[in-house]
Amino acid sequence: MSWTEILGFLTGAACVWLAVHQSIWNFPIGIANNIFFFILFIGAGLYADAWLQVLYLVLGALGWYWWLRGGQQHSRLEVRRTPAWAWPLVAVLVAGGTWAIWALLSIHTDSTVPWADATTTGLSLGAQIMLNRKWIGNWLLWISADILYIGLYAYKGLYLTAGLYGLFLAMCVVGLARWRASLREETEPAATESQKVAA
């Protein structure tokens, strides 16, 4: 167990907990987490996951801006259902990203787990983009990725990180429930106001 794995554990747990509670602080903490995991994964030979951290850092900065200014008239972004058009787009992104990453890992690296590494990376990219837009469906992709990550990290001997992803999995289930409740709270007052106007 290394210092990068311990710091990755702490910042990762904090980041997901903050996202569950819709705190904007999930982004700066997440960026710190990306740095720790980049160092850890390069050392473990998980190259796709390592370079994913760099992309996460960029997406984190974008998500930080969107959560603050991505709503109507540059207001804070609110939780929303995933638009119907977004699901096929995300599916193509995940499938295409997985294939491209697998090809790169197979040809240009000595990765021992190219398919697992590529699949978890593709799912995570789709989930992060959806999280940045505050679409509820992001939690479904995170849950799928976390299940695979637990097995992958245990196989690579990163037991603390595998345990962290078990914690992530539990928090993602809570996040899905909390965001759904938040959406109901946002839509019910609007429906009540519409009924009053109609009356």
Total domains present in the chain: 1
The alpha carbon dihedral of 115, 118, 124, 129 has a sign of negative
| Residue 172, in any domain of the structure | yes
| Residue 150, in any domain of the structure | yes
| Residue 154, in any domain of the structure | yes
| Residue 75, in any domain of the structure | no
The terminus-to-terminus CA distance of the chain in angstroms comes to 65
Q: Which residue has the tokens 């990376």?
A: 121
Please enumerate in sequence order all residues whose Cβ is within 8 A of that of 76, keeping only pairs 6 or more positions apart, or say none.
67, 68, 69
Distance CA 179, CA 109 (A): 39
Nearest Cα to 46, choosing from 129, 107, 116?
Answer: 116
| Residue 94, in any domain of the structure | yes
| Residue 76, in any domain of the structure | no
pTM of the model: 0.82
The boundaries of the domain holding residue 118 are 3-70+87-198
| Residue 78, in any domain of the structure | no
Render each residue's pLDDT in the chain as its tens digit; 199 residues: 788 888 988 998 899 999 999 999 999 999 999 999 899 888 888 787 788 789 889 999 999 999 998 778 778 888 999 999 999 999 999 999 999 989 988 887 788 888 988 999 899 999 999 999 999 999 999 999 999 999 999 998 888 889 889 999 999 999 999 999 998 887 765 555 545 544 4
| Residue 155, in any domain of the structure | yes
